[in-house]
Structure 1
Amino acid sequence: MSTNMQSMALTVPSGGSIESYIQAVSSIPMLSAEEERALAERLHQDGDLMAAKQLIMSHLRFVVHIAKGYSGYGLPQADLIQEGNIGLMKAVKRFDPTVGVRLVSFAVHWVKAEIHEFVLKNWRIVKVATTKAQRKLFFNLRKSKKRLGWFTNDEVNTVAEELGVSRAEVMEMESRMSSQDMAFDLGSDDDESSSHLLSPSQYLEDNSSDLATNFENKQWEDHSANRLQLAIKTLDERSQDIIQSRWLTEDKATLQELANKYQVSAERVRQLENNAMKKLQAAMR
């Protein structure tokens, strides 16, 4: 990927400001299918990097959505998102608008591939010392260990007495020190059907649902809901109340109830409702 395209990626902040980043990318307007196709054509036909930037920016929220699914590996969310953004840029570069699929569906592979690579390089299934006390025991135990292999009962007692800890703590730390990291991927000779041989890589991806389609549908629902709320605000106050009372609440009002409220006939309320619905439909189109 060119340096120019790489420079388009937003730098994801670490620490508390990650929430501000997520809010910022969530506020970036989504693209319609027509807008997306036009931008992709400008990128591929004319090398328009501003078109590439718009495609990338409008899909940053999608990367955040995917990255959140990998939070269980103990890696910084900002780093996961940043790696996913790199995958998004690669997807934008390779996206062919003539195929007939949306970018969000095409980009899943590239976003996940970059995040998977980052997890493979950084994730460790066994954390030897995770607290201050465990770190102290770890370094003291290394000094006390005189030979390879497991301690005998007498050696465990001696070390526990010297360090002022329990036998259980010594044995637990020795177990951690002596264990090996589990291979992330199964070897070529491993039987993937054996439940006890499951490797961490097999937990990375959930194939039970189409994430891209689900995400795109959810984003479209949110987008439509926002457009509906904006359209409702264009109605007069009485029409807004009628639409809200008749369609947007669980305890829906009857025509007669609204007629009594506004001191008009039920038929007049029905007419106002129909007129308001026509205005909303026109605004939504």
Structure 2
Amino acid sequence: MTATSRTGYATLDVPVHGGVLRTAIWGPADPTAPTVLAVHGVTSSHMQWAVLADALPGTRIIAPDLRGRGRSSSLPGPYGMATHAQDLAALLDAVDVRQVLVLGHSMGAFVAEVFAHLRPDRVSALVLVDGGLPLPIPPGVTIPQAIQAILGPAAARLSMTFPDHGTYLEFWRGHPAFADGWNDAVEAYARYDLLGKPPELRPSTAVEAMSEDSADLLAGEAVPRALEQLRHPAVLLWAPRGLRDESPGLYTQEIVDRHLHGRACLRAELVPDVNHYTIAMGGSGAERIAAVINGLLNRESAISR
């Protein structure tokens, strides 16, 4: 395992099946500090957590680039929620963390649930951000059609190339989700996403990883089994607007209420005036996530005393 210091955080390369998992760690080096394992979305990277890290001073945030994304993009398949859960267990072993609060955004919320199901001893609580509840597929719609309907331009971006970083930044500045939410962290996130050399820079997420993972969370058995047997304290934070700032977003109040019924360990909260991206990468969304995390960490601390 190698470590490289950077401004504000360090990076680790953790050995996993097929190669190494790039991981960022924000916060104090003290291993006894409050710790969160943060799991990003389907075409994202650890860079999506920079705003949250600023909102959680004194808390250690351990955030991998999932298999097939970011600087872990060369890690081979098979992908899927269970494979990502195995990688998370290897990561916690590498940083000597026995049990941790797990935060997941979008697909990362599904990964977090499956990890909690497969390795309940490693998870103290879950924070699920605009993900984790099954996404309904209308009758007659195929899995590829459902992926296209949900991800749309996000999936199309993976097959595009860009001549330079400036062009890619302009692409993101024109994204409806960031019309009123552009910040330095979003710019750094976009810059980090590119691999290769000009004039053929490309987004780092492997198309195969996105497709296989999306199919697994939409139609696989791991997610419904994990949700059905959910026992950890869990909070769902959901956005009223979607990936392109459209209304409604991935979830409606009806969908949320349906899945909360009979699940005493899971509570939900609508975060106002955010979309699927800005709930994690905007100031107000990150502040709300931080407040929920602090509440859960304080509860754990009180119980342990």
Structure with max Cα Rg: 1
Q: TM-score, normalised by structure 2?
A: 0.22
Q: Name the one with the larger strand percent.
A: 2
Greater relative contact order (CA < 8 Å, ≥ 6 in sequence): 2
Q: Name the one with the larger helix percent.
A: 1
